[in-house]
Amino acid sequence: MLKHLAADFDLWLCDIQGHGDSDHGGRFHGWNRSAELAVEAFEAGRAPFGEVPRFALGHSFGGVLTSLILAKHPDLFQRAVLLDPVLFPPALIGVMAVSEVLGLHRRHTMARKSAARRKHWPDRAAAYAGLHGRGTFKGWDDAALWAYVEHALKDVEDGVELKCRPSREAEIFSSYPRRLWSSLNKIVTPTDILHGQHSYPFVAKAVARVTALNSHVRAQVVAGGHCFMQQTPEDSAERVRGFLLP
């Protein structure tokens, strides 16, 4: 998808703590601090581009971080697109908060699945074969899956492994952003949320809630799951482009 967007946009990409080529960084800093660190990195790195229109794009965890950034820095971006952001409904956040107090927060489904994710393969071809058509990778475009195998894995002594440790992903999904809904209400940047028809059930409910509460946010359902942009990268890029460059 990013390859398709590169024809019209200069892409500035940010690897959050423990993702991509960023350091693992010890203990997870949390959703809200991660959003502020992304802003610090963006401010430090955007000078070479000059004073040009700035747009925000984020998926899943990154989509939520983007929403927190939009709320706190309303003048930073002209428009934004959130791709299937994991916006936890207030009731779910309440359950997660209680679970955190009781020490049960690592037991819910998303955290368990993340912690159990396979992280090592003998080579990239084996990784591609092992991921193809399975779980969250089901239905991915071949070029998108190869891009994942190329960029999300690193070489190690006995093969390749995920750059983002499954334990870090589990830490993320066993925690939650603070003041999420008050932040969503503060967004004034024109924002479009694209969410998959077959994504997590709570995503559609949360998106319906935020669009009802905030007139600056609109939404559209697209074919596919949580990673629909990997299933239909060209169509997804066209939808993003259509909103950011009306």
Whole-angstrom Cα distance, residue 207 to residue 211? 6
Alpha-helix runs per DSSP H in 73-227: 90-102, 109-115, 124-131, 142-151, 166-173, 180-186, 201-213
Domains along the chain? 1-88+177-246 (3.40.50.1820)
Tokens of 55: 């747009």
Tell me what pLDDT residue 112 has. 53
Name the residue among 231, 244, 175 with its Cα closest to residue 7. Answer: 244
pLDDT in tens, 54-94: 999 999 999 999 999 999 999 999 999 999 999 999 888 87
Tell me what pLDDT residue 143 has. 96
Tell me what pLDDT residue 230 has. 98
pLDDT in tens, 13-37: 999 999 999 999 999 999 999 999 9
Residues with pLDDT less than 50, the chain: 101-102, 104-105, 108, 111
Torsional sign, CA 46, 48, 52, 57: negative
In contact, 219 and 211? CB cutoff 8 Å? yes
CA distances from residue 38 to 56, 178, 195, 209 in whole angstroms, order as listed: 12, 17, 23, 26
